[in-house]
Amino acid sequence: MSALSYDSARFLTSAQQLSQCPEDEGGEVAFAGRSNAGKSSALNALTRNSKLARTSKTPGRTQLMNFFSLSSGEHRLVDLPGYGYAKVNREMKQDWENFIGEYLAERQSLKGLILLMDIRHPMSEFDEMMVRWAIQTRMPLRVLLTKSDKLKRGPAKSTLLKVSHQLTSQANWLSVQAFSSLKKDGVAELEAWLNEQLLG
Ligand SMILES: Nc1nc2c(ncn2[C@@H]2O[C@H](COP(=O)(O)OP(=O)(O)OP(=O)(O)O)[C@@H](O)[C@H]2O)c(=O)[nH]1
Ligand SMILES: [Mg+2]
């Protein structure tokens, strides 16, 4: 197999606990990041399907984990619920942390993690935690600096260099790229990384 067709992605199922996830076989890559970072928009840009994952101006729109299957039949993309959603109460936040923590620790078919950060606010405390987790578990991690259209070329480039240095000095399975769902910038680069994790 040479490459996967991402525009073949179809909604498979939602889950709010591990037991509701699809069979743990084949390979999947999960999209994580704080609420409003642009996870759902990036999935829609990647799959050329503006209706695939719901996007919203209201942070915390996606409260469930959503699984999308590719036409290969054995590969999936996963939209994780955003973290840092201010309006959830402590109990809901705990539930979220337990669920995501369990998913990351247990999921055998998880082949890579995409961590999305608004290019104007990279590397929050939670982002750092996800990076540490990827280092400890040797999980391939791709950081997407999203909404790159919001910055001029110079500042965008310097943020990319800074984050790149920060990541690659720690482990060679961490990498970063700029991304704009609005301009469809970075889609081919993202596809190449996904192909490597899912088919490599
Ligand atoms: N200018 C610009 N806006 C974007 C881009 N990507 C996302 N947005 C906007 O950012 C907001 C949040 O995008 P979503 O894709 O819903 O973010 P999310 O990470 O899925 O959010 P949750 O589901 O709440 O965790 C929406 O208003 C999008 O239109 C981008 O590349 N450029
Ligand atoms: Mg979303």
Q: Which pLDDT score, from 0 to 100, does residue 66 have?
A: 92
- Ligand 2 is an ion; its neighbours by CB within 5 Å are 39-40, 62
Can you give the pLDDT at residue 96? Answer: 74
pLDDT one-digit tens code per residue, 48-64:
998 898 776 666 555 78
Percent of the chain with pLDDT over 70: 92
What pLDDT is attached to residue 54? 79
CB 143 within 8 A of CB 170: no
| 185 Cβ below 6 A of ligand 1 | no
- 112-144 confidence digits (pLDDT tens): 999 999 999 999 988 998 999 999 999 999 999
Answer yes or no: is 140 within a domain: yes
When divided into structural domains, the chain yields a total of 1
**160 CA → ligand 1 middle, Å:** 19
Q: How many Cα atoms are found within 13 Å in the side-chain-facing hemisphere of 138?
A: 0
The predicted model gives 6-25 an average pLDDT of 93
Cα-to-centroid distance, 1 and ligand 1 (Å): 32
Q: Is 99 among the domain residues?
A: yes
- The reported pLDDT for the residue numbered 97 is 76
Q: What's the pLDDT tens digit per position in 101-116? A: 889 999 999 999 999 9
* Domain presence at residue 32: yes
Domain assignment present for residue 72? The answer is: yes
The reply to whether 1 falls in a domain is no
pLDDT in tens, 166-189: 999 999 999 999 999 999 999 999
pLDDT band at 38 (very low <50, low <70, confident <90, very high): very high
Residue 86 lies in a domain: yes
Q: Is the CB of 87 under 6 A from ligand 1?
A: no
User: Is 100 a member of any domain?
Assistant: yes
28 in a domain, yes or no? yes
Tell me whether residue 91 is exposed, middle or buried, using C-beta atoms within 10 angstroms of its C-beta: 0 to 12, 13 to 18, 19 or more: exposed
This prediction's pTM: 0.93
**pLDDT of 86 higher than 70:** no
The CATH number of residue 90's host domain is: 3.40.50.300
Predicted pLDDT of residue 88: 60
Give the domain extent around 19: 6-199
